[in-house]
A and B are shown apart, each in its own frame.
Chain A
Amino acid sequence: MLESVTLIVAQTTVLLAVSPFLVGLIRKVKARLQLRRGASVLQPYADLVKLFQKQPVISTTTSWIFTATPYIVFASTLTAGLLVPTFTSQTPMNFAGNIIALVYLLALGTFFLILAGLDAGSAFGGMGGSREAIVASLTEPAMILSIFAIALTAGSTNLSTVVHKTAVLEGIMTDPSPHLMALAALFIVALAETGRVPVDNPATHLELTMIHEAMVLEYSGRYLALLEWAAGLKLAVFLSLIANVFAPWGIATTMTPAAMAIGLLVYLAKIAALAVAIGVIECMFAKLRLFRVTDLLGVAFILALLGLLFFYILRS
C-alpha cells in the first residue's frame, strides 16, 4: 500500500516536473534549427510561475464552467498520465484503467475545453472548439486501432501490462512490421492530439490556424497556467506512451532503487529524444490546411488497420 502511494506520488511528480521541460526542449530545438538562439529550456517553468502569480481576468459573460474547466482538464490529463508507465513498468494505477480509459479521460478534458471556449462568447473560442472536435473525432479511431494492434501481441490492453510483458520477454515480437505501422500511426495521432505542426501550431495566435490556442484564448493568470501545464502533461503522456510501448528497453521492471534510477534516466533520455524529433518535424513541415488534416489522419487510420491485418496474416 505504502509502496503504491509512493509510486503514485513519484509518477505524478515526474510527470509534472518533466512536462514544461519537454515544451522548452521542443522550442529550443526549433529555435536552433531556425538559426535563433532561443530561450532557455527552463523558460516554461518561469512562465508557469509568473502566470500563477498574475491576477486572472475573467469575462463577464462566462459561467462556472469557465473557472472549473482548468481544474478538470488538469486533473483528467494527470489521471490519464497515471495510467501510462513512465520510469517503471509496474504502474500502481494499472488496474484503474486500460487504453480505452486513457482515451476517454483525455476526451473528458477536450469536452470541457470546448465548452470553455464557447463560454467566453467570442467567435474565436467556438472556432477552436469546432476544429478541435473534428480533429479529435478523426484521431481516436486511429489511436484505438493502433494500440489494439500492439495489445494483441502482448495479450493485454492495460498499458503497464503491455510494457512490462514486452520489456521482460524481449523476444515476443516475431515480426516487427505490425509494430512499425502501429508506431507510425500512433506518432501521427500524438502530433494531432497534442496540437503540433502539421495539425496545429502552438506558437501562433492567428485565427486562420489556431485550434488549441483559440479555445484557451480568454484565459489568464492561474487558470492559463493550469491549462498550459495540462497541455505539457498531455504531450508527456503521449511521448511516454510511444517511448515505453514501442521501446520499453531500460524501464525498471523490478522495484529495486537501482533499477528505478536507471529507469528514470533512460525514460528521460527517451522522451527527450522524441521531443527533439517533434521539434525537427515542426521545422521541416508547414502546418496543413484544416481540411487537409483529414488526409493525414486517414493515413494514420489505414496504417493502424494494416498493422492489425499484418498481425493476423503473419500469425496464421
Chain B
Amino acid sequence: MLNLLWVLLGGYVAGILLPFCLPRDPNAQNLMTSVPAIVATSAGVVLGLLGLTSSEPVTGSLASTIPLLTLAIRLDSLAAFFVLTISVVGLAASIYAIGYLRHFAGRTSIATLGALFNAYLLAMTFVVLADNGFFFLLAWELMSLLSYFLVVTEHEKADVRYAGLFYLIMTHVGTAFIVVAFLIFFQSTGSFSFETFRHPGQPLHEGMKTLVFLMALIGFGTKAGIVPLHVWLPYAHPVAPSHVSAVMSGVMIKTAIYGLIRVYFDFFGGQFPWWWGFTVLLLGATSALLGVMYALMEHDLKRLLAFHSVENIGIILLGIGVGMIFQSYGLKELAALGLLAGIYHTINHALFKALLFLGAGSLLYATDTRNMEEYGGLLRRMPWTGLFFLIGAVSISALPPTNGFVSEWLVFQSLFLSFQIPTVFLKLMLPIAAAILALTGVLVLACFAKAFGITFLAQPRSAHARHAEEAPVPMRIAMGFLATFCVALGIAPMVVVPLLDRVVTPLAGISIARNILAIDGWALAPVNVEFSSLSTPVLALLLVALSLLGLALAVTLGGRLKPRRYKTWGCGINLSPRMEYTATGFVQPIKRVFSTIYQPTVKLETEFLDESRYFAKRRHFEFHIEPIFEKYLYDPLVAFFAALADRLKVIQAGSLHLYLTYIFVTLIALLLLAV
C-alpha cells in the first residue's frame, strides 16, 4: 500500500513540476498538470478503498531535521475514508480542469494554477494522513495558504482580493485555536505524536479537556464554516476557479469534520460529558437552518452554493452531535448510528456539492456571469450540464432515491431514537432538532427549485444565456462521473454502509453494519426493523414501475394524439422573458415570513413623467438583507482591534534601533523567566 502512496506523491509532484517545463504552450501545460493529477487522485481512490477494507492501519514515518517534527503517517479507516473522499472529488475536478482551464488561457498562468491545484490536493491528503501534531499543522497551514493563492487567482478584481484577505485572516484565526488545542496535548504528554495524544501517560485534567474541546470546536469550526464562524465562506468559495470551489466546498471543509472526529472520538476515546454533544448539535442545527436561509436570498449561483455548504456542514454536525450525545450516555449502537449518518452525509455532500459547483462552473464558462437573473432556458442550450445539475439539485434536496436522502434519513432516525436517552430535556430537544432539519430540508428544496428553475427553464433572460453553448467534453465527463455516484450511493446503501461501518467501529467501539442492514441488505433498519426501515432500491423500482403505469394509463385510456406545440398564453400579448418569475420574486414569500431573521430593507424609487404622475419614467428597486453576524459580531471585533492597534502605534516609532532594543529586552526577560 505504501507503493500506492508513492504513486500518489509522485503524481502530485509531477503535476507541480511538469507544466513549468513547457513555458509557451498553455494547452500542453494544461495536460501536463491535469493528467498527473488524474493519476495521483486515481491512486488516492484505490488507496482509500484499500485502507477502508484492510484490518490493520498502515503506518510509516520519516525523521526530519526539525525538532519535534516527524513525518509520520497513519492510514487507519477514518483517514482512508477521507483520502477516498478527497481523491474522488479531486479526480472529478482534475478531469474537469482539462476543459475548464482553457477559460483562463491568456488571463493567468495555467502552469501556476495547475501546480497550485496539485500541491493543494497533496497538502489536503497529508492533513488526513498525518500522525503527528506538528506535521498535521504544517499540512493544515499549507492547505490553507495554497487555497488562499487559488482563491485569489483572479486577483485583478477588487472583490476577489477582499475575499482572499478575509479568508486568509479567518483561516489563521482558526489555525491559532487548533494550535492551542494541540499545545495543550503537547504540554501534558510531552510529544506531538498522535499515538501519545491517544494514550497519554496521565489523563488530561477535566478543565483542560474542556478547553481542548472548545479550542478544537472553534478552530475546526472556522474551517468547516459553522455559524457564526461561516462569514468568510460565501466570500472565498465563489471567487475561486470553479473546480477549486468544488474541492474547497466539497472536501476542504470536510477536513475540519475529520479533525473534530479525530480529536473527540479518537484522542478522547469518546469519553466526554453530554453537553459537548449537545453543543455540537446546537451549532449543527443553527448552521443548517441559517445556511439555507441565507442561501435562499442569494442570486449569485456560486454564493448560493457556498451558503449551502454551511447548511450541509450543519447536517453533518447534527449526525455527529447526536452520536456524541449517545456516546456520553453509553448507548454505543446509537452513537455509532449517529456517527455513521454524519460521515455518510460527508461523502454525499462532497459528491453533490462538487457536482453543483462544477455545474456552476460550466454555466460561468458558457455565459460569463454568476447572476442567476441573467440565466434562463439553458436546459435547451446545455442539455447535459442541465441534467447533471438536476441530479445534483435532487440529491442536495434529499429527495428519494438519491444519496442525500439516505444520509438525511439516517440523521432523522438517530434524532428520533432520542427517546432512549434518560433525560427529558434531551428527549424533547432532539425531536425539535428533527423538526428544524425538516424545515431545512424543504427550504433546500425551495432553493434548488429556484436555482434550477430560474437557470435552466423557460426563456433565456439575457443575451449571454441566449448564446450559451454546451460545456466541453472533459467537463461533461467530470460532472457525469459525480452524478453517477450521487445516484449510486443513493440506491446502493448496502454497499456503502458496511464500508462506513469500518470507519465507525474503532471510534464507537461497536460494529453496527449487521444491525442496520435488514432483509439481506435490501433495507436499512437502524437498530430494528420494527422502529424504522428504508429501502431505496425498492423505492427506485417502484418509482420507475409506477411512472410506466402512468404512461400505460395515458396510452390505454386516451388517444395517442401527438401534443400540439403552442406558445404560452400571455393574456393576449407576446410572452417575453421579462414576464417570467425572477429569483427575487420566487423567494419573496419566504423573505416575508422569516423577516425577523432577514431584517430586509427594501427601497423603491420612482421617477414620474412630468406630464402625469400615473406614468413612471424610471423605477429603481433595491433590496438588502441585514448581514447580522458581520454587523453585530465581526464589525465590533474589528473596530476593537483597530482601536487597540491605534493605541499600540506609540511603541512603533519606525526606528530600527528601537526595535533591536525590544528584541534584546524580550530576550533578557525570557532568559530570566527560564531561570
Contact = CB atoms under 8 A, between A and B. Distances in A.
Nearest to A70: B550
A74 interface: yes
A181 interface: no
Given A74-B550, A121-B568, A145-B435, A291 B592 contact: yes
B593 A105 contact: no
Interface stretch (A27-35, A155-163, A261-269, A271-279): A155-163
A18 interface: no
B271 to A, nearest CB: 28
B532 A157 contact: yes
A111 B568 contact: no
A256 interface: no
Contacts of B637: none
Interface in A278-305: 290-291, 294, 301, 305
A6 interface: no
Nearest to A65: B457
Interface string A66-101: 010011101110110010000000000111111011
B598 to A, nearest CB: 14
A309 B544 CA distance: 40
Nearest to A74: B550
Given A55-B561, A101-B409, A122 B535 contact: no
A108 B547 CA distance: 13
A40 interface: no
A168 B566 CA distance: 57
Interface string A136-149: 11101111110010
A119 B457 contact: yes
A59 B586 contact: no
Contacts of B419: 152
B377 A97 contact: no
B590 A58 contact: no
Interface stretch (A170-178, A218-226, A240-248): A218-226
A180 interface: no
Contact of A95 (B397, B519, B569): B519
A56 B560 CA distance: 10
Interface residues of B, number: 92
A96 B589 CA distance: 35
A131 interface: yes
A101 B424 contact: no
A316 B428 CA distance: 13
A64 B380 CA distance: 9
Contacts of A134: 446, 589-590, 593
Nearest to A218: B568
Contact of A136 (B409, B442, B567, B575): B442
Interface string B451-484: 0111011110000000000000000000000000
Label chain A's interface by main secondary structure.
helix
B518 interface: yes
Nearest to B558: A52
Interface residues of A, number: 91
Contacts of B562: 55
A305 B433 CA distance: 12
A75 B550 contact: yes
A145 to B, nearest CB: 5
Given A59-B568, A137-B446, A301-B435, A101 B563 contact: no
A50 to B, nearest CB: 9
A104 B405 contact: yes
Given A61-B377, A96-B539, A111-B397, A158 B585 contact: no
Given A53-B559, A122-B569, A130 B586 contact: yes
Interface string B357-372: 0000000000000000
Contacts of A79: 539, 542-543, 546
A182 interface: no
B452 to A, nearest CB: 6
Contacts of B149: none
A1 B448 CA distance: 39
A157 B531 contact: yes
Given A105-B539, A121-B575, A156-B531, A63 B379 contact: yes
B499 interface: no
Given A118-B454, A134-B593, A158-B533, A226 B442 contact: no
Contacts of A316: 424
A237 B283 CA distance: 36
A214 to B, nearest CB: 10
Interface string B559-585: 101111111111000010101110001
Nearest to B566: A57
Interface string B490-534: 000000000000000000000000000011001101000111111
Given A105-B400, A137-B439, A138-B593, A118 B566 contact: no
Q: Which of B379, B409, B432, B589 has the most CB of A within 10 A?
A: B589
Contact of A103 (B379, B380, B438): B438
B431 interface: yes
A232 interface: no
A166 B431 CA distance: 22
Interface string A115-140: 10111111101110111011011101
Nearest to A67: B563
Contact of B558 (A65, A144, A151, A221): A221
23 contacts: A48-B557, A51-B558, A56-B563, A58-B565, A61-B459, A63-B457, A64-B379, A67-B563, A71-B547, A100-B534, A104-B400, A118-B449, A118-B457, A118-B581, A130-B589, A133-B449, A157-B413, A157-B531, A222-B557, A225-B554, A308-B428, A312-B424, A316-B424
Closest 10 CB pairs of A and B: A126-B581, A52-B558, A118-B453, A133-B446, A121-B458, A75-B546, A137-B442, A141-B435, A55-B561, A52-B557
Given A107-B399, A123-B581, 19 more contacts: A71-B551, A74-B546, A95-B525, A95-B529, A95-B538, A98-B532, A100-B534, A107-B397, A108-B394, A108-B399, A123-B580, A127-B585, A130-B581, A136-B446, A138-B439, A151-B416, A156-B530, A291-B593, A312-B427
